[in-house]
Amino acid sequence: MAQEIRNYTMNFGPQHPAAHGVLRLVLEMDGETIVRADPHVGLLHRGTEKLAESKPFNQSIGYMDRLDYVSMMCNEHAYVRAIESLLGIEAPERAQYIRTMFDEITRILNHLMWVGSNALDLGAMAVFLYAFREREELMDVYEAVSGARMHATYYRPGGVYRDLPDHMSKYRESPWHKGGDLNRLNSWREGSMLDYLEAFTADFPKRVDEYEELLTNNRIWKQRTVGIGVISPEQAQAWGMTGAMLRGSGIAWDLRKKQPYAKYAEMDFDIPVGVNGDCYDRYLVRVEEMRQSNRIIQQCVKWLKANPGPVIVQNFKVAPPKREAMKEDMEALIHHFKLFTEGYGVPAGETYAVVEAPKGEFGCYLVSDGANKPFRVHLRAPGFAHLSSIDAIVRGHMLADVVAMIGTYDLVFGEVDR
């Protein structure tokens, strides 16, 4: 007797821990096999681009942090680079080094979040706890420099908001932190922020070894990632992939090398490239990127320690004068008032500024008509392009592999939905 078998449709998310936020994935299944995947996105759409059109340029920097909320400063970097390009100004050298350093701190923050949560999705709990230990240490750097642990609003057109602090806040004695434990936590925090980072970067490669020890040769990890979600180099280009997704497929494309910005041209670092284009290769690429970022931070720290200087342009039409100057100098007061009420006009024109964000190419297409508000801001989020390929990639895979694939895309819905 012939039996009729029908595909069935499964709803994955939006409230699912492996959906990394608010992805709703409608899956058409044949048994355990995916026949079609239809992602529904936009549940976190806040209209950032439209909001930016209704505000002076500087007031939207904070929105950029909230796009990809695990690589905050990289988003800011693309936006301020677009404004700087239209204004025709350039940040002072020290600011460029600070930006390079913080972009790499952000990359480590992002990849730690990624390696932790992806391992958690695939059944390894411990990596998450380890990764968040180091994330905490880098979050403290964010806090020291901007006052906020995540949404820093630290980059400004023409530089960065202020110079690096000369001390780090210390842990106080509490029932949870006391005795030798407290001394150990505070031992890095005796000197300036750069001393702290020096200690961190000296220690960090060992920590990466720990994650690798847990995953790289782990049988379960390899079974879940090797040969899963293979993306050919042609496919990767056709789907507009960038960043680790492209490098995992064997294309040595990194904007930091190919179209250098900030101080990347002066940095000594390598670009890891995958071979097979599967989830495992992309894991290896990202882990190696953490080590390379660590190298870049070390070089920046060294330079920044030796070279004090201004961190923002001395152009009071774009950047505010010092607060002390405001109390004495009429001109400074006027500049301050104009800048914070009206903002500055940006010459008419259009530009597309990019940075190599941890997830891929984060671009800002900015159109100005000469006003103090942008005419159009379009933010090119790497995750949006990556996720659009999911149907083509996961067809024929098992349901559990979809989770591996969502993980390997490194999705954050703040940027996908904007």
Partner 1 sequence: MSDTQATSLVEHLTARFGETLGIRVERNEATAELAAADLIAVATALRDEAPFRFTELVDLCGIDYLGYGQTEWDTRDVSWTGFSRGVEGEAMGRFTWAERPRGVSPPRRFAAVIHLLSIEHNQRLRLRVFCADDSLPVVPSVTGIWPGSNWFEREAFDLYGILFDGHPDLRRILTDYGFVGHPFRKDFPLIGNVEVRYDPTQKRVVYEPVSIEPRVLVPRVIRDDADLVQAKAEAADRWREN
Residues binding partner 1 (CB under 8 A): 41-42, 45, 47, 49-51, 53-56, 85-88, 237-242, 251, 253, 258-259, 314-318, 341-345, 347-352, 361, 363, 365, 367, 369-373, 375-376, 378, 380, 384-385, 387-389, 392, 417-418
Helix axes 126-146, 193-215, angle to 10 degrees: 160
Q: Which whole-number Å values give the CA distances from 177 to 183, 184, 193, 212, 264, in the listed order?
A: 9, 10, 21, 29, 39
Q: Count of CB atoms within 10 A of residue 107's CB? A: 26
Kind and range of the H or E element at 406?
helix 399-409
- In the complex, the smallest distance separating the C-beta of residue 151 from partner 1, rounded to whole angstroms, is 21
Distance of CA 377 to the CA centre of its chain: 19
Q: Shortest distance, CB of residue 231 to partner 1, whole angstroms?
A: 12
Burial (CB count within 10 angstroms: exposed 0-12, middle 13-18, buried 19+), residue 54: exposed
In 231-369, beta strands by DSSP E: 349-357, 360-368
**Which of 274/343 has CB closer to partner 1?**
343
129 vs 348, which CB is nearer to partner 1? 348
Between 34 and 115, whose beta carbon lies closer to partner 1? Answer: 34
> Would you say 202 or 252 has its CB closer to partner 1?
252
Nearer to partner 1, 116 or 229 (CB): 229
| Contact status, residue 5 vs residue 18, Cβ threshold 8 Å | no
Closest separation in Å from C-beta 341 to partner 1: 7
Closer to partner 1 by Cβ: residue 39 or 272:
39
Give the integer Cα–Cα distance in Å for 389 and 131.
Answer: 28
Compute the least distance from the CB of residue 342 to partner 1, in Å.
6
Tokens of 58: 């500087």
Residue 165 or 260 having the CB closest to partner 1: 260
**What is the nearest approach in angstroms of partner 1 to the Cβ of residue 377?**
10
The residue among 192 and 388 lying less far from partner 1, judged by its C-beta, is: 388
Strands 33-40 and 376-380, by their bridges, are: unpaired
Q: How far is the CB of 18 from partner 1 (least distance, A)?
A: 21
CA distance 344 to 83: 11
Least separation, in Å, of the C-beta of 399 and partner 1? Answer: 23
Angle, CA of 65, 67 and 72, to the nearest 5°: 35
Q: How far is the CB of 277 from partner 1 (least distance, A)?
A: 15
d(CA 316, CA 344): 10
Alpha carbon 400 to its chain centroid, in Å, reads: 26
